Structure formats: structure tokens, C-alpha cells
Amino acid sequence: MSKRNRNGDILESRPDGQTSMATSLHEQDDAGAQDVQARARHGAGIRASWERFVDSGLLARTPGLPDAVAGSWERCLKGGVDPQLPTCRVFAPEPVLAQQSEGYNELIKPLEAKIVSRLKGTGMLMTYTDQNGLILRTGGEKEALRGADGIGFCPGAYWTEQSIGTNAICLALDGGTPAQVLGEEHFCLGQKGWGCVAVPVFSPTGEIFGCFDISGGAGFDHVAAMLLALQSARQIEHALARHSMTSMESRSNALLNAVFRTIGGGVLLLEEAGWRITYASAEAERLLGAGLRGCDAGVFFNLSAYAKERSAKAAPMGLRLVCRTRPGLHAEIYACLEGGHPSGHAVIAVREGRPPLTVAVHQDRQEKQREIDAFAPIVRRTKAMEETVAKARIMARSDASILLHGETGTGKELFARAIHMASARAKGPFVAVNCAALPRELVQSELFGYAKGSFTGASTAGRPGKFEEADGGTLFLDEISEIPYEVQVNLLRPLEDHCITRIGGQGVKRLDFRLITATNRNLDEMMAQGRFREDLYFRVQTMTLEIPPLRDRGEDVAPVAEHWCRIFCERSGMGFDGIAPEALDLLRRYVWPGNVRELVHAMEYACAMAQGGRIEAVHLPDRIRNRIQRQAKKAGGDMQAPGPAQPQESAEEWRQAGLPAQRVFADVNLESLEAKAIQAAIESCHGNISKAAKALGIGRNTLYTKMRKYGIGS
């Protein structure tokens, strides 16, 4: 409740009956004898309770005694604190005080004069402590300071519960919230003539940095004091934040300069909006001239190619630039990324004679991004892939089984590993099994393991299977559709209750694993044909993730190609001089029946052919250039449907060739595309099955199986 004094000033009251004026720190209430008598009665009640507690150890319920104070009294008595202590007796050595005071003198002392001036004429003093309750500084009028010295309330004293009993400073530091202790509420006798309010001070990182306190006689204006203490604590926190930001900026600039010196070339930072240079290393200014900051980068470099890439929402990395002022300089530009997306800034690296050593910096950023984001290795730019990754992130939070469905080469195992790394099982094993590569007669022993002596040739100690190896982590069964039908029944129990029995063994072992499966086949059709068990299907597809083919996300072709070119060139110790626009055009027009896997192999081939130079169209595999030429001929040739002996092209190929919709044939499906990809790979490799399997990214046995399935080469 609030009430007014005779002058009409608003007063605020505590539950214990004490009142104070909130309108001004310097105006004091003269409400008269009633207020004095109320304070006296309250203080007498607290004092009587304290005396009984000290004598008997039993704390009776006392009206007006805060719970925090009562709890502190009990801790003090239990901890052996002498209630008759007249003064603090625990002080820090001078070197410790001097060391701890350094930060105060630098950050907080400039505020001290303003705070002390507001205390003038009030009989109060300010105190600042570190996070351990060590008093670093006191300030106020001489009379107040002299009284504080009498109880050891001075710099160097540890104002803690153990050293001086219940006080506002220790309560504020322990609880992390403002606190006040008035008169008789103190535990030790020497402080009972004092009142104090204290507010914790927090660092920019949220940790308690210290404590600000205002103290005075027991009848002091505690409401106005608390207001001033809160304001002062916030001012100190603002000073800490400014110092922290200044320090971070200085360290960042020092680190930036050190990094740019170590790469041995010149570096420019620029804003893409207006191409204004915001930073230039000393080496860059030596090569291009002093005073680069604030200049238009377009004066020094031809940025048209980069601007074109950025207008297409690309994020070029290592794009060659022509230097207008010094054509002999080697220059490359890199888009800066934030969260995997362009940030609106770019870096230009320049060097005399040799390519700039900026690839390592880019790779460091990628490695750091991989540590933060498990899905960073999945290079994407299209909305379709972003949505697919978003779904995968959500699935990673669950422990339910996942079925990954997508064409050959779309990156199903890459998704499986990313889901594992983004899950709570990231520190556990990731066990990948290519079911199509398992010999029919060894499927069960590979998956479930075997006991010692279970069959001729078995290890004498037995061997765990893939299910056991995945215990505590993730089991990835790739191409699960290729498991023989008669073996599928053996998977039902392990996938249902996570219990397995080794072949030839007796005991049942319970396992803890998360199941992820993958296939490029239509399991609904296989179930209808009796080639895949329905009960197994419902165990593996609690959640299904459809991975789009590369032909449906054309904007991803260029960044994926550049990403892998950098990896291959770095592995070979070669520089990467970018991909020519003509080569990029061919890559975008190609239909990629082998999806990302085929693109990766194509870029590995192109990097080897380019030998560290710019990748031109001539460096791409023949099958890509030949396929595009055939598409162009079809676009300009007769419009008759191909004869029975002529293989039909995919619908996407007709669309990219610009042909009308009637040329899109209804019998084109995933299996026909896979058969065409296998046929094309075998032809490209002149019948060499090992090379064809490598080009397709599958095992040789798997390729033979698929050839028999589609009747290729029979």
C-alpha cells in the first residue's frame, strides 16, 4: 500500500511497517512518531526472535522476517559463525586486492564520482565487490566511511556469510537477485545498526561479475537506495558490455590481420551492394595502391561475371577476375556465406604470378560448418532440396525407422550419415550395409553374426554381425529391396524388438540401434509381385524421405560440380581455375541418369583432364557431350517416334531438348532410366564391367545382378 506524508509526497511501505519516500533520494519523510514507533516495534520483534534463536537454535516464525534472511541465519548458526562478531575478520592480501581492483579501476571507477555525488547529504555510502564478495571500493561522505571502517566494511574485506554473517551482499551473490537486509535482520551484532541493499552485476555472458551495494544507518531510505543501486548496477553492466565489444573487435581485427599475413597474398573485403571496399590488407594496398578502403572495387576488377552469378542467386567460390589496373595480377573472388547462404559480402584475393592461397581458408570454413551442421556436406541451392533437408532434420530428432527413397546416385547414404550425425546417437557407430552386395548364402551371418564353430570355416571365436556392430548407433541398410525374399522373414524380429541370436548360438542379445534403410525400387510394386514382404515394409517405413533426382533440381548442378572440383583439385595438389560457362551450360543441359554420383565422377574426370587449369567443355566425359549433341540433333531432326530398336530418351531429355509434349512417352519410369544408365555406362567404358561399375558408383557384383535383371548383355 502507498500513502502520503503531510507535504503530499508519495510514500512506499514494506510489510514490516517501515516507510520511505520514493520521489527523491534526498527528500526524507518526517511522518513523525508513528513511523518511528512502528520501526521500533518491528526491530524489537526481530531482535527477540534472534536472541531466542541464538540461545536455543530454534527459529520461531517471526512476522516481517524475510525467508531469505531466516535461511541465512540458520546457515550461519550451523556454520559456526559467531553472532557476537563486532567486525569482519577475513581480509585479502594486498597483492590479491590490487590484482582484483585492476578491472574496477579501468571500467567502473569513471562511474563512481556520479554515484557518490547522488549520495551527498544522505548519510549513505556505496560499495562494490567482486563475484566472491571481496570489497574492491567504497565511496561516500567521510562520516559514513568512518562508521563503515569500524565494522571492517572497507576494501580488502570478504563480505561473505562465513566471515560476517547475514548481509545483503552475500544474499545477492548467492541468489543472483537484488537483496536487502535492514538493522536487526543482520546475524552478527556489529552490523545491526546498519541497513544495506545490494544488486548483482552480470557480465555480457550472463555470469555474476560482482555486486553493487548501498548502505547506511538502519533507518535509511531503503526504497530510494534500492532504486539507485539498480540503476548503478545496470550502468556498470553497460560499461562491461562496451568493453567486451571493444575487446572482441580488437581481437578479431588482430586475428584477421594475422590470417591475411599468413596466406601471403593481398585480401580485400567488399560489400556487394555498390562494390565498396570495406577492408584492404597491407599486401593488397602494396599491389593495387594505398587508400583502397571506401573505393569502388569495380575500378580495379571486372566484376561482371561475378555479378551475373550472384543475380542467379549463386554463391561463386574462386571465380577468376581480370584486374583492370594490373592485368598481370592473379585475382579470385569468393562469396561470403552465413548459414550456408550468401551474406551480401565478398572476398577478393590477389597475388603476383601465382594463384592466391585462399582455398585453405575456404576449406577451413567448410570444415567448421560441417562441425556445426551435420547437413552441410549436402550441397544444395534449390527449394526442393532445402525442403528435403528440413524434413531430414526433423526426422533426426526421432528414433523411429526411416526409409530413404530415391534414384541411384541421389545421395541416400549421405542423407543417412547426416541424419545420424544430427541425432542423439551421433557419438555412436554408423554401420552401413549394401544389401545388394551380400552373397545370398552369407546374408544371415553378415547381419546377425555367428557363434564359434557354427559352420566349417567359421572363426573359432565367432564374429558379431552388423546389427551388433551398430549397437548404440545407427544401422543403415542400403538397397534393402535386394535382400532375398526367403531371408526377409529373419529381419522381422530384430527390427521389431531389437533382439538377435547369432547363427549357431543360443543366447538372445538385446541391442539399441536406430534403423535407416534405402532403396531405389518401388516397394509397393514389389509387394504386389510377391518379392517384398508387407510385414517387413511396415517395419522399415515408419517415416519416408523422398530424395529428388538431380534432373529436377538444375540449380544444384553448378554448386555441386564446383564443390567436388575443389575437393579433387586439393587432393591432387592442383589449383582450381573455375568452370567455363560453356562447360557449365553442358552440365546443366545433361539429364544425369546417374544423378549426383554420375556428376561427381564426371568432375573427377574433368579435373584430371584440365590439370589444374580452367575446366572447359572439352574436358568433360565424352558421354555427356555426345548425349547433348544427340539431343540437339533430335530437336532439329524429324519428329517421328523412335523405332522399336531405338532406345527412347527420358521425358526430361525431351523437355530440355525443347520438343513438344507428345514426344514424352508414358512407359518411362525409374527402372527404364536405370537400365539406360547401365547401358550407357557399359558402352562408354567399351564393355569393361569394372570401369562401368565404378562410373555408376556401384559394385561389380551389383552391376552383374542389374544386368541380368534388365537383360543387358545376355
**413 and 345 within one domain:** no
- Residue 161's region, left for phi above 0, alpha for psi from -120 to 50, else beta, is alpha
The rounded distance, in Å, linking the Cα atoms of 363 and 570 is: 10
Grid cell 562447360 is found at 583
Range among 450-454, 456-460, 703-707 with highest mean pLDDT value: 703-707
Q: Lowest-pLDDT range, 157-166, 324-333, 580-589? A: 324-333
Count of all residues that appear for the chain in the document? 714
User: 563 in a domain, yes or no?
Assistant: no
The rounded distance, in Å, linking the Cα atoms of 291 and 99 is: 42
Grid cell 562494390 is found at 275
* Angle at the Cα of 43 from the Cα atoms of 37 and 44, rounded to 5 degrees: 90
**292 and 146 within one domain:** no
Write out 190-230 in H/E/C secondary structure: HHCCEEEEEEEEECCCCCEEEEEEEEEECCCCHHHHHHHHH
Count other C-beta atoms under 10 Å from residue 568's C-beta: 17
- Give the per-residue pLDDT at 406: 92
- Give the per-residue pLDDT at 178: 94
- Those residues whose C-beta lies under 8 Å from the C-beta of residue 261, and which sit 6 or more positions away, are 281, 282, 283
* Angle at the Cα of 665 from the Cα atoms of 662 and 670, rounded to 5 degrees: 145
Count other C-beta atoms under 10 Å from residue 530's C-beta: 9
Does the pLDDT value for residue 166 go beyond 80? yes
Count other C-beta atoms under 10 Å from residue 304's C-beta: 11
What is the mean pLDDT of the segment spanning 512-533? Answer: 92
What is the mean pLDDT of the segment spanning 284-312? Answer: 85
Q: Read off the pLDDT of residues 317-329 as tens digits, 9 standing for 90 and up.
A: 778 888 888 877 8
The rounded distance, in Å, linking the Cα atoms of 181 and 68 is: 10
Residues spanned by the domain of 612: 570-635+650-710
**What's the mean per-residue pLDDT of the chain?**
80
- Give the per-residue pLDDT at 9: 39
- Give the per-residue pLDDT at 252: 61
* Short-list 202, 199, 201, 235, CA closest to 214: 199
What is the mean pLDDT of the segment spanning 231-260? Answer: 74
**475 and 339 within one domain:** no
User: 528 in a domain, yes or no?
Assistant: yes
What is the mean pLDDT of the segment spanning 368-375? Answer: 62
Q: How far is CA 350 from CA 8, 287, 687, in A?
A: 75, 8, 47
User: 111 in a domain, yes or no?
Assistant: yes
Q: Lowest-pLDDT range, 1-15, 58-72, 223-237? A: 1-15
Percentage of the chain lying above the pLDDT 70 cut: 81
User: 256 in a domain, yes or no?
Assistant: no
Band (pLDDT 50/70/90 cuts) for residue 35 is very low
- Those residues whose C-beta lies under 8 Å from the C-beta of residue 149, and which sit 6 or more positions away, are none
What is the mean pLDDT of the segment spanning 616-641? Answer: 74
User: 553 in a domain, yes or no?
Assistant: no
- Bridge partners of 150? none
Percentage of the chain lying above the pLDDT 90 cut: 29
> 657-665 long-range CB contacts below 8 Å, 24 or more apart?
657/631, 657/632, 659/634, 659/635, 663/639, 665/641
Question: Helix, strand, coil shares of the chain as percentages rounded to 5?
Answer: 45, 20, 35
Give the domain-ending residue among 189, 212, 243: 243
Residue with more model confidence, 249 or 607? 607
**107 and 238 within one domain:** yes
What is the mean pLDDT of the segment spanning 124-134? Answer: 93
The rounded distance, in Å, linking the Cα atoms of 114 and 149 is: 22
What is the mean pLDDT of the segment spanning 93-118? Answer: 82
- Those residues whose C-beta lies under 8 Å from the C-beta of residue 668, and which sit 6 or more positions away, are 648, 650, 651
The rounded distance, in Å, linking the Cα atoms of 565 and 559 is: 10
Band (pLDDT 50/70/90 cuts) for residue 63 is confident
What is the mean pLDDT of the segment spanning 125-154? Answer: 91
Q: Could you give phi then psi for residue 432, rounded to 5 degrees?
A: -105, 135
- Give the per-residue pLDDT at 457: 53
Q: Which three cell numbers stand for residue 416?
A: 543417412
The rounded distance, in Å, linking the Cα atoms of 317 and 306 is: 10
* CA count, 13 A, side-chain hemisphere, 415: 32
Give the domain-ending residue among 548, 580, 600: 548
Q: Which three cell numbers stand for residue 559?
A: 554448386
Q: Lowest-pLDDT range, 234-248, 625-639, 678-692? A: 625-639
The DSSP code sequence of 529-556 is: TTSS-HHHHHHH-SEEEEPPPGGG-GGG
What is the mean pLDDT of the segment spanning 398-419? Answer: 92
Q: Lowest-pLDDT range, 218-232, 386-400, 439-453? A: 439-453
Does the pLDDT value for residue 19 go beyond 70? no
Query: Count of domains in the chain?
Result: 5
CA distance between the termini of the chain: 98
* Short-list 503, 540, 548, 505, CA closest to 523: 540
Band (pLDDT 50/70/90 cuts) for residue 390 is very high
Grid cell 526411416 is found at 402
The rounded distance, in Å, linking the Cα atoms of 166 and 181 is: 8
Does the pLDDT value for residue 657 go beyond 90? no
User: Rounded to two decimals, what is the model's pTM?
Assistant: 0.42
Q: What is the 8-class DSSP label of residue 663?
A: G
User: 480 in a domain, yes or no?
Assistant: yes
The rounded distance, in Å, linking the Cα atoms of 213 and 169 is: 7
The rounded distance, in Å, linking the Cα atoms of 2 and 19 is: 9
Q: Which three cell numbers stand for residue 497?
A: 524388438
Q: Lowest-pLDDT range, 79-93, 517-531, 674-688? A: 674-688
**500 and 388 within one domain:** yes
User: 253 in a domain, yes or no?
Assistant: no
What is the mean pLDDT of the segment spanning 220-228? Answer: 86
**389 and 359 within one domain:** no
**236 and 151 within one domain:** yes
Residue with more model confidence, 668 or 325? 325
The rounded distance, in Å, linking the Cα atoms of 559 and 596 is: 11
- Give the per-residue pLDDT at 637: 53
**235 and 270 within one domain:** no
- Those residues whose C-beta lies under 8 Å from the C-beta of residue 239, and which sit 6 or more positions away, are 107, 108, 110, 111
- Those residues whose C-beta lies under 8 Å from the C-beta of residue 118, and which sit 6 or more positions away, are 25, 228
Give the domain-ending residue among 548, 579, 614: 548
The rounded distance, in Å, linking the Cα atoms of 267 and 347 is: 7
What is the mean pLDDT of the segment spanning 644-659? Answer: 40
* CATH code assigned at 335: 3.30.450.20
**696 and 597 within one domain:** yes
Band (pLDDT 50/70/90 cuts) for residue 351 is confident
* Cα 307 → chain centroid: 30
The rounded distance, in Å, linking the Cα atoms of 28 and 21 is: 6
**462 and 343 within one domain:** no
The rounded distance, in Å, linking the Cα atoms of 652 and 663 is: 11
Q: Lowest-pLDDT range, 43-57, 217-231, 622-636, 656-670? A: 656-670
C-beta of residue 398 within 8 angstroms of C-beta of residue 543: yes
Q: How far is CA 374 from CA 379, 392, 417, 537, 567, in A?
A: 12, 11, 8, 28, 18
Grid cell 520521489 is found at 23
* CATH code assigned at 110: 3.30.450.40
**277 and 236 within one domain:** no
Band (pLDDT 50/70/90 cuts) for residue 669 is low
The rounded distance, in Å, linking the Cα atoms of 478 and 447 is: 13
**362 and 390 within one domain:** no
- Bridge partners of 332? 320, 349
* Residue 693 three-state SS: helix
Band (pLDDT 50/70/90 cuts) for residue 292 is confident
Q: How far is CA 257 from CA 146, 268, 279, 365, 654, in A?
A: 53, 12, 10, 17, 54
Does the pLDDT value for residue 254 go beyond 70? no
DSSP β-ladder status, 514-519 and 474-478: parallel
Q: Which three cell numbers stand for residue 513?
A: 540401434
Residue with more model confidence, 165 or 56? 165
What is the mean pLDDT of the segment spanning 383-396? Answer: 92
Does the pLDDT value for residue 13 go beyond 90? no
Residue with more model confidence, 609 or 656? 609
